[in-house]
Amino acid sequence: MDQVLKLRSIAFGAVLVLVAGCTALPPAAAPGATPGIRPVPANTAPLPVDATGTAAPSPALSNPASSSPASSSPASSSPASSSPATPGSPSAAATPTAAPSAAATSTADATPPKDTRSGRQLDQPYVVNGIVVVSKKHPISKRYQRKHPGKYGLEKEVAAALAELTAAAKQDGVKVLVRSGYRSYAEQDKILKRKIVEYGSEKMARRYNAEPGKSEHQTGLAVDLWDGVTWGLGVRNTKVGKWLWKHAREYGFILRYPPGKEKITGYAYEPWHFRYIGVEDSLTFNPNSKLTLEEYLGIG
Ligand SMILES: [Zn+2]
């Protein structure tokens, strides 16, 4: 993987390294390797709830990315590996699942930077602890560019992790399909406008669909997944939905809009929308966790 995701505090990083090490997940897979996933055009599925538009904050691309134009260094695990198990907080290490439901324990040691961007500064995303955050409160401009677009338009690192996820799911007899990957600012704009007409309610449409500039899909760090049959909230009851909520974390993804957290995330429950943040962070989320990225990072 060419993007070093998180620059975490050293102690915490060490802890996570241990965790990640246990799972033996090769951080980065071959760029082009994302077999078995068939993208389904959003328009083909006439479903009640459109998952497409959701603005999910984007993942793991770290701020370093913005500062390092040519990030071809396969340094995915270097920061981690270089810091041997530090005594930092062993207890947490032992329990990767130890993410408290409300607090951003892991990252809380440092006060998150305030998002003071404006104007051209919005060409770069708000980044907290190396994790890109795009949401209603933290938009990006239409000039925002992905670093390394790969399959489905996702960042290559994300596409590679997704390939691993789908392969693992397949082994469990679960066929995960991609319904929506990257979406441009212009596409997001069209989607929201179309949804407002479909819903007949702008308010409802906005619960599930992001305004351009406020969708994680524009970052190539988020993906909508399903089984190719059931869409909308029903995804949560499908084999795919259940498998993902439990196992996506093992591949660097988190359920970005958990149930009951609309006031925090700005979006209603979306059992299909997964955001890549990298395993070092995702493993601190429990299986079936309702912890939000906002809570995890300690931001509003
Ligand atoms: Zn989505």
CA–centroid distance, 85 to ligand 1, in Å, is 36
Q: Is 247 strand, coil or helix?
A: helix
| DSSP conformation letters of 256-273 | SS-TT-HHHHSS---TTE
Among 98-107, 110-119, 238-247, top mean pLDDT goes to 238-247
Q: How far apart are CA 227 and CA 239, in angstroms?
A: 8
What is the overall mean pLDDT for the chain? Answer: 75
CA–centroid distance, 222 to ligand 1, in Å, is 7
CB-side exposure of 67: number of CA atoms within 13 Å?
A: 7
Percent of the chain with pLDDT over 70: 64
**Among candidates 77, 63, 169, 195, which has minimal Cα distance to 125?**
63
CB-side exposure of 216: number of CA atoms within 13 Å?
A: 37
CA–centroid distance, 51 to ligand 1, in Å, is 5
Q: Is the pLDDT of residue 32 over 90?
A: no
**Do the beta carbons of residue 106 and residue 92 sit within 8 Å?**
yes
Say what the pLDDT of residue 160 is: 98
Q: How far apart are CA 52 and CA 190, in angstroms?
A: 11
Say what the pLDDT of residue 278 is: 98
CA–centroid distance, 98 to ligand 1, in Å, is 26
CA–centroid distance, 112 to ligand 1, in Å, is 25
Mean pLDDT, residues 261-268 taken together? 94
Say what the pLDDT of residue 110 is: 72
Report the range of poorest mean pLDDT among 33-37, 74-78, 87-91. Answer: 33-37
Given pLDDT bands bounded at 50, 70 and 90, which one contains residue 150? very high
CA–centroid distance, 236 to ligand 1, in Å, is 14
Q: Is the pLDDT of residue 70 over 50?
A: no
Say what the pLDDT of residue 185 is: 94
Q: How far apart are CA 105 and CA 222, in angstroms?
A: 23
The pTM (predicted TM-score) of the whole model is 0.66
pLDDT tens-digit map of 177-216: 999 999 999 999 999 999 999 999 999 998 888 899 999 9
Strand partners, 131: 128
CA–centroid distance, 82 to ligand 1, in Å, is 35
Among 15-19, 88-92, 265-269, 273-277, top mean pLDDT goes to 273-277
Q: How far apart are CA 99 and CA 73, in angstroms?
A: 30
Which residue has 């955001």 as its token pair? Answer: 275
Mean pLDDT, residues 234-246 taken together? 98
Which fold, 10-297? Answer: Muramoyl-pentapeptide Carboxypeptidase; domain 2 (3.30.1380)
**Among candidates 127, 123, 97, 108, which has minimal Cα distance to 3?**
127
Which residue has 């989607």 as its token pair? Answer: 191
Domain spans of the chain, in order of start: 10-297
CA–centroid distance, 67 to ligand 1, in Å, is 27
Mean pLDDT, residues 42-51 taken together? 35
Report the range of poorest mean pLDDT among 13-22, 126-135, 142-151, 249-258. Answer: 13-22
Report the range of poorest mean pLDDT among 46-55, 115-124, 199-208. Answer: 46-55
CA–centroid distance, 241 to ligand 1, in Å, is 14
CA–centroid distance, 224 to ligand 1, in Å, is 5
**Do the beta carbons of residue 173 and residue 137 sit within 8 Å?**
no
Q: Is the pLDDT of residue 135 over 90?
A: yes
Strand partners, 126: 133
CA–centroid distance, 277 to ligand 1, in Å, is 15
Say what the pLDDT of residue 109 is: 57
Name, in order, each residue with C-beta under 8 angstroms of 203's C-beta and a sequence gap of 6 or more. none
CA–centroid distance, 26 to ligand 1, in Å, is 25
Mean pLDDT, residues 93-97 taken together? 37
Q: Is the pLDDT of residue 5 over 90?
A: no
**DSSP H or E run through 81:** helix 78-82
As to burial, measured by CB atoms within 10 angstroms (0-12 exposed, 13-18 middle, 19+ buried), residue 64 is middle
CA–centroid distance, 90 to ligand 1, in Å, is 35
pLDDT tens-digit map of 162-172: 999 999 999 99
